[in-house]
Amino acid sequence: MRASQHKSTVKRIITCIGRYKWGVIASLLCAAVSVIFTLYVPILIGRGIDCIVGPGNVNFKGMRNVLIQIGCVIAITSLAQWLMSHINNNITYRVVKDIRTQAFNKLEFLPLKYLDSHGHGDMISRIIADIDQFSDGLLMGFTQLFTGVLTIFGTLFFMFLINPLIGTVVVLVTPISLLVASFIAKRTYRMFQMQSKTRGELTSLIEEMLGNQKVVQAFGHEKEAQENFEQINETLRVWGLKATFFSSITNPATRFVNSLVYACVGIAGAFAAIKGFLTVGQLTSFLSYANQYTKPFNEISGVITELQNALASAARVFELIDEKEEKTDEKDALRLEDAKGQIHLDQVYFSYNPEVSLIEDMNLKVSQGQRVAIVGPTGCGKSTVINLLMRFYDVNSGTISVDGTDIRHITRQSLRMGYGMVLQETWLKSGTIAENIGYGKPDATREEIIVAAKEAHAHSFIKRMPNGYNTVITEDGGNLSQGQKQLLCIARVMLCLPPMLILDEATSSIDTRTEIKIQKAFAKLMEGRTSFIVAHRLSTIKEADVILVMRDGHIIEQGTHEDLLLKNGFYTSLYNSQFAV
């Protein structure tokens, strides 16, 4: 990451923490109290030692007062440290909650183009693993960085108070420790960054393999999947080992430098005591301060290493949060209410990739209640038309209008609520069967849900489930057959009764007998509703009012089933390829 991006990440983290400035102030006050009283203990110990120096010269009264003071100071220090830890935990997990919420909310507003072109596992890794890494670094930074910095300045103050000359020696040797820590930390950051990136790739691969394990096994892809996993896992091992190695040498290196500081203080203090510039108690206090002065450098070096990891993880999360959102609705966008379903496509151009043309100059007028079937070979643009109608993607040029209004001037939510959609790819959430059917109408009564299930011919198999409509199904309906999942998706649309319908291979996974029943239910549902039917099996769209035959993004033929057969064109060849003996 470039220096400017590094600084930007730090600024954003500070901004996130700034929302809890009163907590930060309270934490700093507790840290100051803890450090001041901790550093006051060596002075008390030095006084205590001076009370017992010399044979037969013990000041018991002075010793008792010193011990009482030490006890009180330790109690106050412990309380301050406990409060600081509690406040830091509270701030850290509130900041983490805010960032994770931002990241998840961003997913809700990202355009489908981004979601289609990025690994889902990597996005999951950013929201979960990377934010956890950031949390650990932030917590360590709060807990040890505050106290470490204050301890360094506090010990310097007390050392200069006792003997300025020896204090100067300490200050002169200190930069060596800082240079060593900085040198290692700069080289560690990129390794942690690559570790986070590779971890995201590994999560993405595992998520992909788990979701498609049947396909992997069916095509004997286990060996290749294992090799891919081992390759990424090996890369993660290399980066993890490098990051851990270089980060682990920070502490020993700074400890070595700090031991030199302690040795210098000990030698200089011994000569000062011999010359009478220091008492034995003061020398003891000074050595204690020298040890406390070097200790924060070791802790801070560890904090810096952890912060490098945290910054690398935070940068990946902020990168997701900063992704360009789906274009927002216009301020004066209309809400689509009581839609009639008159749809007009006028000179529509669209392609997913600017270099590869797809839909060009598409024109289409659909009247209210008309049933429009879209057929054609794979990749001709059938599903793309559906994506454009729903505004999952916006046209590159031209217009699509509903009831005379350009859909770009209609709110996305109201437009999409106007459509009922059943796709070949089913989607169900973890929850009860009733909750899944009522997904588009949360306030639906149980009676309405049952009626919709009956119309979708799903009621019979639901009643055979262990708890009927209260049966909990796993994520994406893993404990149901593909046909049963599709029936539930059809019931979901039957419940909402939208003014417009989109059926994209809606009965592809249903047995022929049930499909005949569903087609009858759909026929009833489509009465008076504008409907788009995408189908590969041409037998299912014979009753359509108009059939659009697409090839390479163009409508090359249109008309009723009988009209198209009489033309003896591309549709006829498609039809004969399925039914000719």
CATH of the domain at 387: 3.40.50.300
CA-to-CA distance for 480 and 474, rounded, in angstroms?
A: 9
- 130 within 8 A of 314, measured Cβ to Cβ: yes
Judged against a pLDDT cut of 60, whether residue 3 lies above it is answered with no
Residue 493 has pLDDT above 50, yes or no: yes
The model carries a pTM of 0.62
Same structural domain for residues 301 and 425?
A: no
302 SS3 class: helix
Which of 166, 145, 141 is CA-nearest to residue 155?
Answer: 166
The angle at the Cα of 487, spanning 471 to 367, to the nearest 5 degrees, equals 140
Looking at per-residue pLDDT, the higher value among 427 and 536 belongs to 427
Q: Are residues 265 and 179 in the same domain?
A: yes
CATH code at position 317: 1.20.1560.10
Band of pLDDT at residue 143, cut at 50, 70 and 90 = low
Count Cβ atoms below 10 Å from residue 446 Cβ, excluding itself: 11
Cβ-count burial of 122 within 10 angstroms (0-12 exposed, 13-18 middle, 19+ buried)?
Answer: buried
* Residue 377 is assigned to a structural domain of this protein: yes
Higher pLDDT, 74 or 247: 74
CA 151 to chain centre: 37
Per-residue pLDDT, 14: 80
pLDDT mean over 244-265? 74
184 φ/ψ sector (left φ>0, alpha ψ -120 to 50, else beta) = alpha
pLDDT at 79: 92
515 and 464 belong to one structural domain: yes
- Among the residue ranges 201-210, 378-387, 549-558, the one predicted with the least confidence is 201-210
How much is the average pLDDT of 496-522? 76
How many residues comprise the chain? 581
Residue 387 in any domain: the answer is yes
CA distance 122 to 196: 10
Cα within 13 Å of Cα(574), Cβ side:
23
Mean pLDDT of the 539-560 span:
81
Pick from 80, 86, 78, 73: which is nearest to 44 by CA? 73
Q: Token digits for 166?
A: 């020896």
Mean pLDDT of 237-252: 78
Q: What is the pLDDT of residue 438?
A: 87
245, 314: one domain: yes
Residues pairing with 346 in the sheet: 399
Question: How many structural domains comprise the chain?
Answer: 2
Residues 257 and 201 in one domain: yes
The phi, psi pair for 502, rounded to 5°, reads -130, 120
- Three-state SS string over 450-475 comes to HHHHHHCCCHHHHHCCCCHHHCEECH
CA distance 284 to 269: 9
554 beta partners = 551
Please check whether residues 238 and 364 belong to one and the same domain.
no
> Do 406 and 265 belong together in one domain?
no
Residue 49 has pLDDT above 80, yes or no: no
pLDDT of 352 reads 82
- In this prediction, residue 204 has a pLDDT band, given cuts at 50, 70 and 90, of confident
- Note the pLDDT tens digit of each residue in 287-329: 777 777 767 766 666 677 677 777 778 888 888 888 887 777 7
Whether 161 and 284 share a structural domain: yes
Residue type, 355: E
Average pLDDT over residues 330-350: 85
73 near 44, Cβ under 8 Å? yes
Contact residues for 90 (Cβ-Cβ < 8 A; gap 6+):
23
Q: What are the pLDDT digits (tens) for 166-185?
A: 777 777 776 676 677 667 76
Residue 574 and residue 501 in one domain = yes
The whole-number pLDDT of residue 219 equals 64
Determine what percent of the chain is predicted with pLDDT higher than 90. Answer: 1
Q: Does residue 335 sit within a domain?
A: no
In this structure, the strands spanning 359-366 and 343-350 are antiparallel
One domain for residues 394 and 264:
no
**What pLDDT is stored for residue 53 in this prediction?**
62
Kindly report the average pLDDT of the chain as a whole number: 79
CA–CA dist 456, 463 (Å, integer): 14
Confidence of residue 390 (pLDDT cuts 50, 70, 90): confident
Choose among 406, 411, 415, 414: nearest CA to 331. 411
Distance of alpha carbon 218 from alpha carbon 403, whole angstroms: 47
Overall average pLDDT of the 377-398 stretch = 83
Average pLDDT over residues 388-394: 86
Q: How many CB atoms neighbour CB 378 within 10 A?
A: 7
Residue 516 lies in a domain: yes
Same domain for 364 and 239, yes or no, is no
pLDDT, mean of residues 71-91: 87
User: Nearest CA to 536 among 383, 426, 389?
Assistant: 383
The residue-averaged pLDDT of 390-417 equals 87
Looking at residue 581, its pLDDT comes to 44
Q: Checking DSSP bridges between strand 405-406 and strand 397-402, what pairing results, if any?
A: antiparallel
The residue among 270 and 370 whose pLDDT is bigger is 370
Straight-line distance from the first to the last Cα atom of the chain, in angstroms, rounded to the nearest whole number: 64
Range(s) of the domain holding residue 370: 343-579
Residues 350 and 298 reside in one and the same domain? no
- Over its C-alpha atoms, the chain yields an Rg (Å, rounded) of 35
Domain membership flag for residue 329: no
The reply to whether 333 falls in a domain is no
